[in-house]
Structure 1
Amino acid sequence: MDGIPTGPRTRGPDHPTEEGHEVLELERLTRAYGEHLAVDEVSFTVPDGRMVGFVGGNGAGKTTTMRMVMGVLAPSAGGVRWDGEPLTREDRIRFGYMPEERGLYPKQPVLAQLTYLGQLHGMSAEQARERSQDLLTRFGLGERLKSKVEELSLGNQQRAQIIASVLGDPKLLVLDEPFSGLDPAAVDQMSELLREHTSAGVPVLFSSHQLDLVDRLCDSIVVLHGGKVVAEGSSEELRANAPLRYRLTMAGDTGWVRGMPGVEVIDLDGPSVLVQPEGEEVAERLLADAVGRGTVREFSRIRPTLSEIYREVAVA
């Protein structure tokens, strides 16, 4: 990165070294390919002990952003900080990374390969082998230790790849589509593994197209579209900022709602109508009008799903 030192970091009183308080910060991170901005001034943080979901369509810039965090790509502008200091090569050695293209060699035995990767993270051969074997056994691969990676099913290859990313006591996890190809049981296993790391204070950033999973697991969500952050916050914060919508159901037809000022009809089906009023006062007037017209069977605020919020902010 331009202007960011690569030597050992130094710290003053404003940047203490206590473990458990490390935060990843992206500051107006930008990557250009000619005139095309793949990532356009992306800024957000991944605090210690938090899981942040990174969502967006194909080509949104998620993988490019993660590659810049890990030093695989240099940014065109902006930077990345770790615990208040510019990110260094020494910091990245302590991170666990699962790239989009994966990284295990297909013709090498899985245990031997994981042991080697553990050593690259500073573990002794014995420590790396023991840790790898424990994790492989935990995730149902205890009888496949000597199998070549290419001999494993795609789901088991994914398990092995995630195991590779958590070897060596990582201080940060950056995972690109870690749940892709996993069956429900494996998803639960890997979710538990990630929670163990956040419980120990490790920040986790992962991308996924599985929005229901992101909604369930993550403390906060960053939505990327066209290389820009278009929404950010917890699920509840994103829902609170979503358009105000109500479902009105009556004993009779609700077609009359189409003529009410300040009310947009989203969907109407006889006695039931989904509306988007301009504000709470308009919603109250709508309810009062409905009561004056007959029996109201339902009038309820509709909380959007994360998928609906995503479509609102990221799908043109």
Structure 2
Amino acid sequence: MTKVRAALVGEQGTVFAQADDRTDAAAGPERVLDQILHLAEQVLAAPAQLSVMGVGVSTPGPVDTIAGVASDVPTLAGFAGFPLKAELQKRFAYPVSLENDGIAAAIGEWQFGAGRGYDNLIFVTVSTGIGGGIITDGRVLRGRKGMAGHIGHMSIMPNGELCPCGNRGCFEAYGPGTAFALRACTRALSCTETALGRNGVEIHSRDVFAAARKGDAFANKLIEEEAEVLGRGFTSLIHIFSPDIVVMGGGLSHEFDRLYPGIQDYIARWAMPAFNNVQVIRAALGQNSGLVGAAALAFLAEMRPETRPAFSQTSKSRT
């Protein structure tokens, strides 16, 4: 979790104001909550003529959203067992709703973005890690303690690379931008035909795509491999949840056009025939998927698996 972000969002998903700050992740819960409150005060001071209904908060998981208690969040120090919802509620005069960030982003895209009108979709964020959320039969899939959707920690490679969660071979050990950049850095050392990493320069994922656009064969091969990794993970998700669409968000979705052909080709080749025409599409809300989804929680605080959303939806599915 590199940033704390806040937004003032209208009922139609329009973002009227937003602010962000670099997360003081090592300073503990009190400091991070102070950052949240400060940013909320900034956006509430915007000159938009809106009546505040509530505060929706999305957070990295695992988090027990039923009890409102954070679990051992790997990216935030001191949050294990922390009563996050109760502590947030002490700081706000409005009702507070709490959600996992992947599920919140899925809700945002479902209600106001690329998934609008679909009853079945998977949202996958591909950024510094891999997270997601699932909408199935027109309902948000939350699971035990509201912790469903940790799709980055399904295994795609037996005894593979070490994942931040401590397991090996997880989707998150291979698919996110951080893993992609690490592969580039490691392999560029033994490749004399690429400009990447020359003179010890650090390689970021954006550098690989930039080099590929200039015709760097090594960079293009790395991108093809990344698309295959994502395709492999998406195919497993498609088999499990049978969505109408897969929505891809996160930092690497900025290069969706370059990754899409390889992802879709993998699905077409390796998904079972009944599933191989499921399309992957780019998130429509960009970096605001989670912000808008968190706001949707404030509009309908009781959105639970047994409760159909009060948003108007016209169902559609692919044939």
In terms of Rg, which structure is larger?
1
Q: Which has the higher helix share?
A: 2
- Scaled by the length of structure 2, the TM-score of the pair is 0.28
- Scaled by the length of structure 1, the TM-score of the pair is 0.29
